Chains A and B, each alone.
Chain A
Amino acid sequence: MSEKPKFAMYWAASCGGCEIAVLNIDEKILDVDANFEVVFWPVAMDAKYKDLEAMEDGSILLTLFNGGIRNDENEYLAKLLRRKSKILVAFGSCACEGCVPGLANLSPAEEIITTAFHTVSTDNPNGVHPQPTYKAPEGELHIPRLLPVLKTLDQVVEVDYYMPGCPPESHQIAAVIDLVIQVLQGKAELPPKGTVIGAGISTVCDECPRKRNVKTIKSFTRIFGQPLDPELCLLEQGIPCNGIATRSGCGARCPSAGAQCIGCYGPAEGVLDYGARLITAYASVVDANEPDEIERILDGIPDLVGQFYRFNLAGSLLKAGQTAWKPNGGNGR
């Protein structure tokens, strides 16, 4: 091979954990270097957008794109990388389904800026408020504009593969890198376009060691403040564990360690709306037939949107809260 295939990784609206997770694959990272030429990876190396713009379309073999699309810079880079890449992977929960930054879709964009710059938790004595353009002595400066809502990568460009997780488990990343290298060496074939890679097709319960029974929920409770059976299914103990609806692949790390699954691997294979699966499953086993009693039991889950859509709001069917679409509560009223 005269020239190594090119590799890129980009970080849009995300926390950076996905980048750390890639580094967490330990010595496997040397295989990446051995098999790929890293051409664009702002976190790891210096690169300019203009270098990327200058590359030939389709010249990058593999791009791992993490982060959601929150501003016009994210959107531009997503489109640019799509053009330059043969294989574009939505890498990590943010790119796949919006993740925690997607929860900002419950608020209008201005409110996000106001909260960040003008609330008590912010020390901003001069009342600085970000402007899209600023005339500095050196010339006009631009900062990216927020989009009304955060979008997932596939709501902006076509995506070849999805790799879920917040962040994706390092052993899964290593396995995917191994696979790509095998494909390069002609020893394996790529899965069909649109496949979710680096994860299972079932849900976390599939990997969870806890014992389970026929479920009925008489009340929901929180993980702290009471003794829990270390071997019994958390949901059966009233802990709203999302493992029932969350894609397998993490090895059931949270429930194994005594914490409920919060759903970072997103929905299982073929599922259209992650939160809907949890809503229907929880509700189905609520042990009450009277509206008041049902309401009383449901009171046990204080933040429903957080519970059902912590990682999935931007990728859900409804995508956002009403105010993100219509800041005044909407409907022209």
Chain B
Amino acid sequence: MTNETFEPIIIGFTCNWCSYRAADLAGTSRLKYPPNIRLIRLMCSGRLDPTFVFKALANGADGVLITGCHPGECHYLEQNYKALRRFHLMRRTLKGLGIEPERIKLVWASAAEGVKFAAEAAAFVEEICALGPLQWGKPREEPSHREIEEVPA
């Protein structure tokens, strides 16, 4: 995988009530966005465990998109604020590990915002393309170290 032909893989987490429906609406409206993003449906952005994000990044994703209901519009009243707080702490931690915090992004999208969803998905693919591959866990080329096993992903 070289930078010229870099096709990032992005895992997107969506809320069952808003952003997943926004993605549905983007589909029914036949809006177009790049195919690099693969979605997982959660019941709420509050369900998002940082483990999911780290797992995705550790296992080959180049970026993670987190989406939820707009502040004040959470289907479960206020759980998207928990997602917001976790997002901030995750980004800081990733930064501490030397991972560009921009590799995770939080987007609010209501069920009516198919256009916004498609646009945000496309923009995020662009942003990750600009950052380049993450390729986490692939040991760097180190010819002086013979016989070293690859670190298991």
Show the binding face of A for B, using Cβ within 8 Å: 72, 75, 106, 108, 132, 145, 147-149, 151, 155-156, 272-273, 275-277, 279-280, 282-284, 286, 288-289, 291, 294-295, 298, 303-305, 308, 316-323, 325-327, 329-333
B88 touches A298 (CB 8 A): yes
B112-153: contact bitstring with A at CB < 8 Å (1 yes, 0 no)? 000000000000000000011111111110101101110110
Show the binding face of B for A, using Cβ within 8 Å: 3, 49-51, 53-55, 57-58, 71, 78, 81-82, 84-86, 88-90, 92-93, 96-99, 131-140, 142, 144-145, 147-149, 151-152
B88 touches A280 (CB 8 A): no
Beyond A155-B152, A272-B55, whether A279 also contacts B89 by CB under 8 A is yes
B132 touches A325 (CB 8 A): no
B145 touches A147 (CB 8 A): yes
A316 vs chain B, min Cβ distance (A): 7
In the assembled complex, the Cα of A288 lies from the Cα of B84 at a distance in Å of 10
- Residue of B at shortest CB range from A325? B140
Beyond A273-B51, A305-B97, A317-B55, whether A279 also contacts B148 by CB under 8 A is no
B132 touches A333 (CB 8 A): yes
B134 touches A331 (CB 8 A): yes
B144 neighbours in A (Cβ, 8 Å) = 132, 145
- Residue of A at shortest CB range from B59? A317
A283 touches B88 (CB 8 A): yes
Beyond A148-B145, A325-B138, whether A284 also contacts B132 by CB under 8 A is no
A321 touches B98 (CB 8 A): yes
Residue in contact with B58 in the complex, picked from A132, A275, A319, A326, CB distance below 8 Å: A319
A326 neighbours in B (Cβ, 8 Å) = 140
Beyond A148-B142, A289-B84, A303-B96, whether A325 also contacts B137 by CB under 8 A is yes
In the assembled complex, the Cα of A72 lies from the Cα of B138 at a distance in Å of 18
Beyond A275-B93, A291-B88, whether A318 also contacts B136 by CB under 8 A is yes
- Residue of A at shortest CB range from B71? A289
B140 touches A272 (CB 8 A): no
B14 vs chain A, min Cβ distance (A): 18
B49 touches A304 (CB 8 A): no
In the assembled complex, the Cα of A284 lies from the Cα of B90 at a distance in Å of 12
Residue in contact with A148 in the complex, picked from B97, B134, B135, B148, CB distance below 8 Å: B148
B82 neighbours in A (Cβ, 8 Å) = 283-284
A320 neighbours in B (Cβ, 8 Å) = 97
In the assembled complex, the Cα of A156 lies from the Cα of B92 at a distance in Å of 30
The 10 closest A-B pairs by CB, nearest first: A322-B98, A331-B132, A305-B96, A283-B85, A276-B50, A283-B86, A317-B54, A276-B51, A283-B89, A317-B58
A321 touches B145 (CB 8 A): no
A149-B139, A279-B93, A284-B86 known; 8 other A-B pairs, CB under 8 Å? A72-B148, A75-B149, A132-B144, A155-B152, A280-B51, A289-B71, A294-B88, A327-B140
